[in-house]
Amino acid sequence: MGIKIVALGAGQDVGRSCLIVSIGGKNIMLDCGMHMGYSDERRFPDFQYIGSGNLTHSIDAVFISHFHLDHCGALPYFSEVCGYDGPIIMTHPTKAVAPILLEDFRRVMEAKPGDSAAFTEKMIADCMKKVRGVGLNEVVRVDEDIECKAYYAGHVLGAAMFYIRVGGESLLYTGDFNMSGDQHLGCASCEELNVDVLITESTYGTTVRDSRRQREREFLGSIHEAIERGGKVLLPVFALGRAQELCLLLEQYWDRMGLTTPIYFSGGLTSRATEYYRSFLTWTNEKVQGSAESRNMFDFNHIKPFDRNLMDVPTSMVVFATPGMLHAGLSLELFKLYAPDPKNLVIVPGYCVAGTVGHKIMTGRAKTLEIDGRTVDVKCQVKYMSFSAHADAKGIVRLIEIVKPKSVMLVHGERSRMAFLKKKIETEFEITCFDPPNGVAGMQIY
């Protein structure tokens, strides 16, 4: 029968992950994300490709790999506006966290003049009522034909790689994954599956990252230097994931060095994060699980909630603020305040999509920026230090070695990086590798 895959998002691009897969006579959707670099119709996948009317007749199941908005941000729109009423599958942690991030995004967008989130608070709640949570390594029958199993992906709490089988045809969809553990999560884990196609992210498809320990030293040293010279430090992050890793680093460093400079986290998300990590402790690494009996590692002594009264305080501080790409919200507000002062430091700790302020500054060459109709002088120090929880080229190749797929499809990456990785995979493994752009119909896998 053959497997056909069409990328409605993340085809030769990062953002708006959404794939339509025809497999064994069924049509499934893999992720349903938004593009953080756009505020027009390009924000969401082009659902018109699927058809018109009740889309439940066109899609048999939706699988959400994790709670980041570029993977789940369009889901309330798809279910409540487009009318999809079929099965939606995600892990239990993703089901718990996704509505919180969706509501945070909705509030930020509603507060921006001339913008909106395209869905309401009620739509988010109604959408999540349709979700079926699944456990790690649990074999689940979605209907009489579709079987799935969630494998540990690392990346963020609850992230899963989904193995999906329909009849005699099968695939593994990685979503975002990380083959290296970090301060709070383990590395991705899978087994030999011999799937017909492995659909893998390729965000860092040409990169082999340096030592994490070396990066941690540089990160901590840069922050220490900035506060020693009387500056403020802005760390734009997403609410859960990388933020907790960096919080753990700073908490331990402040203890070792006896520092008293205040560290703040925006939006009350620290307490929320602690709650989620307590609830889903088995999704963390052995170090976090081992410490849980004596002290929860996320009960921070040095990191306090940020109050807006601190916006204009002249003294040094370190602030974690959302969102991570500086496209809206408190992180963008603080950037506009901090950017003109050369004593200040902004560290961009992860990938930023084109079109966001984060992407524009991460090269360190932007001297002025037009933001919301106003010119902002960028005189502060800007550093890009990748604490990205994505697999690098080495990690992607390692996963292929483990899974032993018959073919590979690359998504969630820039075109040039995909082309390099595609050639490498075809040469090393002697299998077909696809890297289609968005909207190319009928990727025939075999």
Q: Are 88 and 99 in contact (CB under 8 A)?
A: no
C-alpha to C-alpha distance for 229 and 344, rounded to whole angstroms: 9
C-alpha to C-alpha distance for 263 and 222, rounded to whole angstroms: 15
Start-to-end CA distance of the chain, whole Å, equals: 9
Of the candidates 70, 67, 53, 54, which has an alpha carbon nearest to the alpha carbon of residue 8?
70
C-alpha to C-alpha distance for 432 and 198, rounded to whole angstroms: 11
DSSP 392: B
Q: Is 218 a catalytic residue?
A: no
Catalytic residue among 201, 245, 251, 414: 201
Nearest-10 Cα torsion for 40, 44, 47, 52:
-50
Q: Is 293 exposed, middle or buried (0-12, 13-18, 19+ CB in 10 A)?
A: exposed
Alpha helices in 208-302 (DSSP H): 212-228, 242-257, 269-279, 286-291
For residue 323, say if its preceding peptide bond is cis, omega within 30 degrees of 0. yes
What is the set of active-site residues?
Answer: 201
